[in-house]
Chains A and B, each alone.
Chain A
Amino acid sequence: MFLKEFRAVVFQNVLILCASAVLWKQTTATATQVTRPRGVSLARASLYIPDSDFTCLDGSATFPFRYVNDDYCDCQDGSDEPGTSACPNGSFYCRNLGHEATVVPSSRVNDGICDCCDAADEYQSGANCVNTCKELGSAAQEEAQKRYELESQGYAIKLEYINKGKHAKQSQQERNMALKAEQLEAEALRSEKEREKQEAEEPERQALDKYRQIEQEAMKEKEEMERSQREGEASKAFDWLDSNQDGKLQVEELQTHTAFDQNQDGTVSPDEAKFFLHNEEEMEKNEFVTTGWPLIKPFIMKAQGLEAPSQPEQQAGEIPLPDDHHQEESIPETDGEEGEEEDEEHEEEGEIVKPSPVTPSSIEYDAETQALIEAANKARNAYDEADRRLRDLEREIRQLEESNSKDYGPNEEYQPMDGQCYEYSDREYTYKLCPFDNGSQRPKHGGSETRLGSWDSWDGPEGSKYAAMKYDKGVQCWNGPQRSLKVHLSCGMENQLLSVSEPNRCEYEMKFTTPAACSEPRKPNDGDSEFHDEL
């Protein structure tokens, strides 16, 4: 039974422990060495004093020191069993001389699996563990050396990046300042032009008011003339169509005119004819003049090769009545939709809606009025130009500020990546990452690009925010969420997309190396890491 023997081996000699392969049988300690219970780090050795009672490190209980490492859990925090597996929540310290010290959960002790490279955790399981710390240590050192070299070279590039980034930032700032100054000027200019415009428009308005009456009368007259012309034409057409001269149009009369053969089958069917009589058998002249003729006229004209009717090309059967009412109603709606955002198109539309000073050609202005109009037009044009200039400036400033507000890292080291794109291909897709802009995938064998996400923010864990980037609001997955992308950055000699995976559906992850992620290189320790760790 191993348990009985166990009590005898509570204490370990540090030197023997590291030198001996058959550890637990060694019970004698040389006087010069510090003794401490198995599984305790040097830093905590002072908490385990053999000559006095032991108090659990959480203070929950005190008992004779022989309870320490006696393979029975007495402390709630597991601190009485640093060297055994007895406590479910304890931990075991692997010294790992020649490599790095580690702490493993107590559950690893004597479970038959080698966890510490010095094999200290398997002192009683019979597991065939060999001390691999030396090999691991030198491998780790090699690794560290390589890493150091990589970091050094990468860091050198990073410094260049920082330089570039800062430079870019500075020139952006300078440009921004210049633009701001220009903006102030442009604003002043616009105000001035606006004032001038108003000043020019006032006398123009007064002058034009006088002409308004005349204008209206002329307009009325014109409309009247047009109406009588139309009616005359309709009346003539009626008489022509009313072949039996009975003052009414009948279906039979229309059937004689191929112009009404809407489906072009060679004959005018009664239905086709009735369509023009508003689905009645006949039509009086009055009705014809007001509503019948406008419907018929395009067909007659088409038949005579004068003008292609547009309405009759709509689906047969539909009555192609002009739908002016609807259009008139809809205009004020669009008009009232005054967005707050500056929308150029909208603005231009607005200008059209403004009362137009342009006169009907029939009216002649006197020279004075004409001059006022011309002056006002000139002022308006000058204002428009000043306004456009200001808005251009504002847009440029906005863009600049947007770019300026991007976080390119604590020292602007990621700035040079903005505007670049990097690709990676696997079996089926080519992935593209354009840092600070977006990520996407494209099937290799044809097909369109799918946006995986657009730049959102830095997304590293607490303390290393710049270790990962988040791109979100990508294209929605079929029956699923919007795609998103997380990019993990690590130090490398060049900007390179290393791999892409999709651990969750529609949540992509990329590994990306960049010199910008390199930290200032620290010379790797070539001394004993435990020594380093413990002192």
Chain B
Amino acid sequence: MGNWLLILTICAAAVQSCVAVDRGNFKTCDQNAFCKRQRATQPGNSPWEILLDSLNSTISSLQVQVISSRSQARLQLQLIALADSTLHFELDEVNPIKLRYRAQESLSGSPQLSSLKITEQSSDSISLSFGGTGKAILLVKPFRLDVYDGDQLVISVNARGLLNFEHQRVRKSKLWEAMSTVAQTVGSVGSSLPGKAYSWVLQWLPWSSEAGRNEEPSSEPAEEEMKAEAETKHPDEKPVEEEEEPGLWEETFKSHVDSKPYGPTSVGVDISFPGSRHVYGIPEHADTFALKQTKNGDPYRLYNTDVFEYELYNPMALYGAVPFMMAKRQQGTVGIFWNNAAETYVDIEESSSGSVVSSLMNLVSGGGNEPHQQTHWFSESGIIDLYIMIGPTPKDVVRQYGSLTGKTPLPQRFALGYHQCRWNYNDQEDVHSVNKGFDLHDIPYDVLWLDIEHTDNKKYFTWDPVKFPDPLEMVHNLTANGRKLVTIVDPHMKRDSSYFFHEHCEQNDFYVKDKSGKIYEGWCWPGSASYPDFFNPAVRDYWASRFALDKYEGTSLDVYTWNDMNEPSVFNGPEVTMPKDCLHYGGYEHRDVHNMYGMMVVEGTIRGQLMRSDYKLRPFVLSRSFFAGSQRFGAVWTGDNIADWEHLAIAVPMLLSLSVSGIPFCGADVGGFFNNPNTELLTRWYQAGAFQPFFRGHAHLHTKRREPWLFDEQTNKIIKASIKKRYTYLPYWYTLFYEHEKTAVPPMRPLWMEYPQDGETFSMDNQYLLGDSILVHPVVRSGEQEVSVYFPGVDTLWYEIETFRVYEAPGYQTIPVAIEKIPIFQRGGTIVPKKERARRASSLMTKDPYTFIVTLDKQGKAQGRLYIDDGQSLEYQKGSYITLELNMEGHTLSSKVTNQGAFETPESIDKIVIVGLSRAPSSIVDNTGRILEYRYDATSQALVLRKPNFSVSNEWSVNLKM
């Protein structure tokens, strides 16, 4: 424990010194040269034109060059038609000096091609059709792409003329050669000086301040060649004097100098959504779900960073980045995916009616003079790699995006249970007593988590020999009661010659390099650390191999993984992360791949887990950092939040943003990571968390213990009830996650995903749907006595899940919310499967019977689905599962088995509740003629069928004789 204190001091000191002051540690757009440059691009005067002579096409694509009338720079445009109404738009330099990075790992395999036809071509435009109803028109001068769904213009690229593609160039200077010798001398003198002094010296020299920078990337062509190329093929687009504008070839933030050996390489273009009222997505930001206008502040930033005590309601970047956006019109929905792993910004501006662009839009679309959302995207490097999805429904868009970047595979059932975490459970004894505490107080939980202190001096894959002398015994203690363990494995490796992982990386050249090609060293939890280059497949293979049970000692197949700090977090790095001029596999700069680093870590971990079980068990990994495609590898959480009401409230918009952006398995730390929640906040947080996808209690080292039983009796009781409630709905959650894997529709949904034409719901982010059946309105304010719940739908009924009190939609209703109340409603017309027996862990519920809650709509109908499998193996992917379709119509409820693979289960249905019957039936008979027992309650209009005891594997029906 003494050690523990010492460590805490060191950690705290490290945190203090690097990230204590929040905003000042992170760049604003103004402090970021490419953001400033791109943002300064003036609309309305695009120099880019299509070179019709260069047009080529195949059955699914067309290629054509685009040229700048100002600089004569050429870009290669490729349009590719993809399956499911998706158009791939790719813009890269013709003959670049250095190949630009293309993000491939975000995609789940090669997208399926579809047909692309040129339907019309003139000197002004090229018309084409793709997929089913997709049409597009390429306008020649200025270059623009308009995408139509049928006759409706839905997306327009470069309509505002903001296309700004900074082609690579050679630094221009008349005195280049003459000076390079002098500059070298200065450079070597200067390099030993702090950044500021160095630039001061350089400023004093007769030539530019930049001349001293002489590092030539080794992978570049010879200087002569470069110069020749620059002069012939790439004449500068910009006037010469702009060449030396600050920030092009070197940039300084605080004490960090970014050497930028390739100069300016940013890419940007505007994308407008005619007719759209709101745009959503581009997580991760602590902001409203419907994104805000950014004109008067910074753009939304996508740059994975470890932000200490992040602030709410602003566009600052957080731990993860998904450059995907959905735009919602009254009648339709479209999506775009900006597949670029470099630092990216998105400006959002509502067109003012009457502006040039807006009238242009209106002219083209023939629509009214309504304002619409227009966006401006720019990244620091890479190419413009844009996927356009034309919906038209929200579910179509998520499916289209899901087929590009993948879906979250069905997790093991335990992953949907409750997770108990803390930084830190101190030792084996502590773990044991917490585990016992849950049993003693009869509170279910599935996973106990160990944070960094469990390791031997922050050397991941090891155990502290004193605090955890026998980890396997501890694991067995947990698994004996059906539970699992998660250990943290972070990607910063302690530079310690006695650490096998570090030694292996050193010997095999596995670490990320600094700009000079030496192994990069940063500062993180272990002190001096280096970072494996996860973009190197051999590194991921090695990482994966370390999860083998004989390699990662003290683990079993019941031990899963948490990848934290994988932005990557570097305490002493610029913006608490890795310098952009660090070098990765393939000669790419960290700048090019930054936002994907965290995802690549998780890819390695997932594969490690698959390998150790011989591809039998589904993996489970929680990651803090993420990118488009991360959903294929597991769950994420919203990082280090704070125990206050605002942070409880922001979880809903943040999780909705993740959900619609392809990452459905997400959660926020219950209780808040920093600081101590009071009992009311903790209670409300458990109630909210119980109905969010990833449900984990977590707390900072400096907080008080908060296992539920440490509070007063009422708090303990309500928290326990909330967790138990989560467990009763596990069959529903599990079915939703199965359906997600099939359809890409997230379990947690904005209301408009089910009611896409209900304008009232478009900016709603204080309530949401689970599947299509459950409406949740968490209480997120202190002292709240009642909440105003909006019930969506036309002629639709919503039943409060405890009392079955019915509310009619559409409209707002005031719902009382005493402290034990979670406002949750089941839609009339649905059937929700539950398991009402409380067990210690989800793994102990597998044989328990189901309860079906049937809530009738106004026509007396209801439908529902249930998915069942073994809860852990990958056999379901071979068809080993059961799906039921439940249908109630005309007083008959029937179950149809729609899939029954090689999976057997003793599970049955021992209770059916039918709500919304105005009177009791005279009798109830099943399909075999058996008369069933029942009870009817006139107040709640609920009929309870007692022990029908149907096997889930059989088809059955019951008929209510009225």
**A interface with B by C-beta (< 8 Å):** 1-4, 70-74, 85-86, 88-89, 105-108, 110-113, 125, 426-429, 441, 443, 478-480, 500-505, 507
Contacts and interface: CB of A to CB of B under 8 A. Distances in A.
B953 to A, nearest CB: 11
B3 A72 contact: no
A70 B9 contact: no
28 contacts: A1-B906, A2-B906, A3-B849, A3-B947, A72-B911, A72-B947, A85-B837, A86-B837, A86-B910, A89-B838, A107-B844, A111-B482, A111-B844, A112-B482, A113-B482, A113-B844, A125-B847, A426-B1, A428-B2, A429-B2, A441-B2, A443-B2, A501-B1, A502-B4, A502-B426, A504-B703, A504-B704, A504-B705
A111 B839 contact: yes
A502 B951 CA distance: 52
Contacts of A108: 840
Interface string B705-725: 100000000000000000010
A3 B949 contact: yes
Given A1-B908, A1-B951, A70-B947, A107 B839 contact: yes
Nearest to B702: A505
A73 B836 CA distance: 10
B12 A1 contact: no
B375 to A, nearest CB: 42
A392 B203 CA distance: 78
A2 B947 CA distance: 13
Interface in B777-817: none
Contacts of B844: 107, 111-113
A524 B438 CA distance: 30
B728 to A, nearest CB: 8
A427 B949 contact: no
B240 interface: no
A70 B911 CA distance: 13
A229 to B, nearest CB: 65
A54 to B, nearest CB: 15
Contacts of A125: 847
Contacts of A107: 442, 444, 837-840, 844
B86 to A, nearest CB: 47
Contacts of B946: 72, 74
Interface string B875-913: 000000000000000000000000000000010101100
Contacts of B839: 85, 107, 111
Contacts of B466: 427
Contacts of B205: none
Nearest to B12: A479
B362 to A, nearest CB: 58
Contact of A505 (B3, B701, B724, B849): B701
Contacts of A110: 847
A428 B3 contact: yes
A441 B4 CA distance: 14
Interface in B632-680: none
Nearest to A67: B946
Contacts of A1: 906, 908, 949, 951
Contacts of A501: 1, 426
Given A85-B839, A110-B847, A501-B1, 7 more contacts: A72-B911, A111-B844, A112-B482, A479-B12, A480-B702, A505-B8, A505-B702
A4 to B, nearest CB: 7
A262 B465 CA distance: 67
Cβ-closest 6 pairs across A and B: A428-B2, A429-B2, A111-B844, A88-B838, A107-B838, A105-B442
Interface in B401-460: 426, 430, 442, 444
B2 A427 contact: yes
B910 A3 contact: yes
B6 interface: yes
B506 interface: no
Residue among A105, A441, A480 with max Cβ neighbours from chain B (10 Å): A105
Contact of A111 (B703, B840, B908): B840
A501 B1 CA distance: 6
A154 to B, nearest CB: 25
Contacts of A112: 482, 844
A426 B467 CA distance: 12
A4 B837 contact: no
Nearest to B700: A505
Residue among B466, B480, B910 with max Cβ neighbours from chain A (10 Å): B910
Contacts of B4: 502
B949 to A, nearest CB: 5
B40 interface: no
A50 B839 CA distance: 29
A438 to B, nearest CB: 18
Residue among B5, B701, B840, B951 with max Cβ neighbours from chain A (10 Å): B5
Contacts of A500: 1
Contacts of A441: 2
B848 interface: yes
B481 interface: yes
Contacts of B702: 479-480, 505
Contacts of A70: 947
B21 to A, nearest CB: 14
A85 B835 CA distance: 12
Interface string B908-933: 10110000000000000000000000
A185 to B, nearest CB: 54
A502 B704 contact: no
A501 B4 CA distance: 10
A106 B837 CA distance: 9
A519 to B, nearest CB: 24
Nearest to A89: B838
A88 B906 contact: no
Contacts of A429: 1-2
A5 to B, nearest CB: 12
A105 B438 CA distance: 12
A71 to B, nearest CB: 7
A174 to B, nearest CB: 45
A486 B2 CA distance: 17
Nearest to B4: A502
Contact of A88 (B836, B840, B911, B951): B836
Contacts of B847: 110, 125
B18 to A, nearest CB: 15
Contacts of A86: 837, 910
Interface string B679-711: 000000000000000000000011111000000
Interface in B848-867: 848-849
Contact of B949 (A4, A74, A105, A443): A4
A427 B466 CA distance: 9
B798 to A, nearest CB: 25
A503 B430 contact: yes
B947 to A, nearest CB: 5
Contacts of B849: 3
Interface string B932-962: 0000000000000011010100000000000
Nearest to A501: B1
A3 B949 CA distance: 8
Contacts of B8: 505
Interface in B814-855: 836-840, 844, 847-849
Nearest to A450: B5
A420 B5 CA distance: 27
Nearest to B429: A501
A426 B3 CA distance: 10
A501 B908 CA distance: 48
A70 to B, nearest CB: 7
Given A3-B949, A72-B946, A111-B839, A502 B908 contact: no
A427 B906 CA distance: 53
A410 to B, nearest CB: 28
A197 B562 CA distance: 84
Contact of B3 (A106, A427, A478): A427
A242 B491 CA distance: 84
Nearest to B6: A428
Contacts of B482: 111-113
